[in-house]
Chains A and B, each alone.
Chain A
Amino acid sequence: MRFLTVLPIALPMATAIVCLFLREHARAQRIACAAGATLHLSVAVTLLCRVHAKGIQVVQAGSWPAPHGISFVADLFSAIMVVLTGIIGLAVALYSVRSIDNARVSLGYYPLLQVLLMGVSGAFLTGDIFNMYVWFEVLLISSFVLLSLGGGKAQIEGAIKYVVLNLISSAFFVAAVAVLYGLTGTLNLADLSRVAESRALEGSLTLPAILFMFAFGIKAAIFPLYFWLPASYHTPPPAVAALFAGLLTKVGVYALVRVFTLVFVHDVGVTHGILLVSAMVTMVLGVLGAAAGRDVRRILSFHIISQVGYMVLGLALYTPLALAGTVFYIAHHILVKANLFLVGGLIQRAGGSYDLKRLGGLSSSHPWLAALFLIPALSLAGLPPLSGFYAKLTLLAAGLQSGEYLAVAVALVVGLLTLYSMIKIWQEAFWKPVPADAAAVTPGVTVHRVLPVAALALMTVLIGVCVGPLYALSREAGDQLMDRRAYVIAVLGEGR
């Protein structure tokens, strides 16, 4: 069962290959992709159970001993992220069945979707910094194509901004790896963590730390590096947008958490201090952008930025409770945000437009849609008893514990503004009478679209109602992230 750790990477690749062979058969591809996503999710859950029961799981690629070969490491945080990848992958695969047209499918939509899932899982599971760069490129190139696939002017425009900013980020990522390698002579994350503790390197590691912060900051969309996100995330079809909104920025957050808990902890005052300021500004500016928006998808895009601020806040506080808050927040956010983008797609189906001015009267014409919107929307704003409430509560408790009262105040105010912008969508799209210039509606809200949305909404409610298990898991993951020694021993063996 050693291979269980790499199965979440191998399975999407196999599914992608199967989909490529079925190139001419759209229907068969849809079935293969959904089946592959189901398998991926079940493997991910098995991996999480195993990591939870037996501790950190490590596979050395090609059986090369640890610092020389490439290690794949699944600790609790990685395993949780892979499970979330599986959930979103399955939800998007189901939602795509009816919402992605045959033209896009024949251009390779499903293989690309699976390659993206492979890249994301690989980035979560690798224990090698250069290998992480390779996985980032795998997920980036497939996301480039997914973003621009079959699109007109708007999609091409969004894609250019997205591609250029991400290429700059990748260049800095490699530069940071180069500097780090020049300083330490190793690329294995566990070995880096061990070497970084030596006195000789003190101080000089701050340069690669800032380079990594810049590279991952662009991917995670933190202040002042988030401008590409609201310019591109609203252009692709809702299934693709949900996948991007749920997973891709969170890969950046994951990478930030990984390197700033495992490697760069020698100068917490500087690095985590910068992250703290950046997190606060990110929260505020993101939510202000959302409050000013008039388009459902753009409002939701700005909310991603604001929410990333909360996750980075947990990392910046750097206590076990705060990191547990970050893990919990990421889990909650991925489910809710992907769900909201899918609901956005349903709103467009039901109301004919994404523009709030041209929407209206959905609460009387589609009452079930109103319920499906309200659950993730209120959860995003952090209202009890939904998942977002406990995610925010954990972070706020951690903030109070560390004495960062300003950050706590900012987080509370931003929560209120989030509620405001969600209420704005509610009032405009659902309560307002149908406007005179309402767009023409194309009927076709099918069960394939509603099922994943309802399932994700149910998960949000379930996390809120029985919060205990996920909270306990996040606490364990947080403790594990703070315990670098255990990670190093698991990868390199005793005596290092």
Chain B
Amino acid sequence: MGAWVPVVIGVLYATGFYLMMRRSIVRMIMGLVLLSHGTNLLIFVSGGLRDVVPIIEVGARAPSRPTADPLAQAMILTAIVISFAVLAFALVLAYRSYENIGSDDVDELRAEEP
């Protein structure tokens, strides 16, 4: 399993950056979504890829074999929840800006900048 995960992360990052360099605000946000997915996978990898569940058997004081790292998964869970909330806000903001400015193009965001 280990070999293809870095490739997936790389593809997610590359696609995310490509989308963020587009002029459309919605694409920019989609790029951020992909970026945060890539980052979550990176945390997953950083915990070490092992397919043994981190359960300590009855009576034992430590798992008998090296297990998957539960802390990395707890971090991913936190990161997913946070990015879900933040991206929901970003989508609403994009919609408000579309209502206000009438365009999805970042080049139109120039009212306050000379």
Interface residues of A in 106-157 (CB under 8 A from B): 130, 134, 137, 140-141, 144-145, 148, 152-154, 156-157
Chain B, 77-114, contact with A by CB distance < 8 Å: what is the 0/1 string?
A: 01100100111011001101100110000100111110
Chain B's nearest CB lies how many Å from the CB of A128?
Answer: 11
Is the CB of A175 closer than 8 A to any CB of chain B?
yes
The answer on a CB contact under 8 Å between A231 and B112 is yes
The answer on a CB contact under 8 Å between A160 and B111 is no
Question: How far is it, in angstroms, between the C-alpha of A153 and the C-alpha of B111 when the chains are bound?
Answer: 8
Which of B20, B36, B46, B110 is most buried by chain A, counting CB atoms within 10 A of its CB? B46
Question: How far is it, in angstroms, between the C-alpha of A41 and the C-alpha of B75 when the chains are bound?
Answer: 32
Question: How far is it, in angstroms, between the C-alpha of A170 and the C-alpha of B82 when the chains are bound?
Answer: 10
Chain A's nearest CB lies how many Å from the CB of B65?
Answer: 18
Question: How far is it, in angstroms, between the C-alpha of A330 and the C-alpha of B100 when the chains are bound?
Answer: 37
The answer on a CB contact under 8 Å between B94 and A182 is no
Residues of A within 8 A of B48 (CB): 182
Residues of B within 8 A of A170 (CB): 86
Interface size on B, as a range, is: 35 or more
Q: Which of A161-169, A241-249, A475-483 contacts B (4 or more CB under 8 A)?
A: A161-169
Interface residues of B in 1-49 (CB under 8 A from A): 20, 25, 28-29, 32, 35-36, 39-40, 42-43, 45-48
Residues of A within 8 A of B72 (CB): 178, 181
Which of B42, B87, B97, B111 meets A178, CB within 8 Å? B42
Chain A's nearest CB lies how many Å from the CB of B59?
Answer: 22
Which of A167, A168, A179, A234 meets B42, CB within 8 Å? A179
Residues of A within 8 A of B78 (CB): 130, 134
Residues of B within 8 A of A158 (CB): 112
Is the CB of A400 closer than 8 A to any CB of chain B?
no
Residues of A within 8 A of B40 (CB): 174
Which of A154, A164, A182 meets B28, CB within 8 Å? A164
Chain A's nearest CB lies how many Å from the CB of B42?
Answer: 5
Number of A interface residues in the complex (CB < 8 A): 34
Which of A130, A137, A158, A175 is most buried by chain B, counting CB atoms within 10 A of its CB? A175
The answer on a CB contact under 8 Å between B85 and A154 is no
Which of A140, A145, A170, A231 is most buried by chain B, counting CB atoms within 10 A of its CB? A170
Which of A148, A154, A235 meets B93, CB within 8 Å? A148
The answer on a CB contact under 8 Å between B96 and A148 is yes
Which of B36, B79, B90, B100 meets A163, CB within 8 Å? B90
Residues of B within 8 A of A231 (CB): 112-113
Question: How far is it, in angstroms, between the C-alpha of A168 and the C-alpha of B36 when the chains are bound?
Answer: 9
The answer on a CB contact under 8 Å between B45 and A182 is yes
Residues of B within 8 A of A167 (CB): 32, 86-87, 90
Residues of A within 8 A of B75 (CB): 130, 177-178, 181
Q: Helix, strand, loop or mixed for chain A's interface? A: helix
Residues of B within 8 A of A144 (CB): 86, 89, 93
Known: A168-B35, A174-B39, A178-B42. A157 touches B101 (CB 8 A): yes
Residues of A within 8 A of B89 (CB): 141, 144-145, 163
Closest residue of chain A to B96 (Cβ to Cβ) is A156
Residues of A within 8 A of B42 (CB): 174-175, 178-179
The answer on a CB contact under 8 Å between A171 and B93 is no
The answer on a CB contact under 8 Å between B46 and A181 is yes
Is the CB of A313 closer than 8 A to any CB of chain B?
no
The answer on a CB contact under 8 Å between B39 and A171 is yes
Is the CB of A159 closer than 8 A to any CB of chain B?
yes
Which of B36, B39, B40 is most buried by chain A, counting CB atoms within 10 A of its CB? B39
Question: How far is it, in angstroms, between the C-alpha of A94 and the C-alpha of B71 when the chains are bound?
Answer: 43
Residues of B within 8 A of A177 (CB): 43, 75
* Contacts A/B (CB < 8 Å), 17 sampled: A154-B111, A156-B101, A157-B101, A157-B110, A157-B112, A160-B97, A164-B28, A164-B32, A167-B32, A167-B86, A167-B90, A171-B35, A174-B36, A178-B45, A178-B46, A178-B75, A182-B45
Q: A148-B96, A160-B106, A167-B32 are in contact. List 18 more A-B contacts (CB 8 A).
A: A130-B78, A156-B96, A157-B101, A157-B112, A160-B25, A160-B94, A160-B97, A160-B109, A164-B29, A167-B86, A168-B32, A174-B36, A175-B42, A178-B45, A178-B72, A179-B46, A181-B72, A182-B47
A-to-B contact residues, CB < 8 Å = 130, 134, 137, 140-141, 144-145, 148, 152-154, 156-161, 163-164, 167-168, 170-171, 174-175, 177-179, 181-182, 187, 231, 234-235
B-to-A contact residues, CB < 8 Å = 20, 25, 28-29, 32, 35-36, 39-40, 42-43, 45-48, 71-72, 75, 78-79, 82, 85-87, 89-90, 93-94, 96-97, 100-101, 106, 109-113
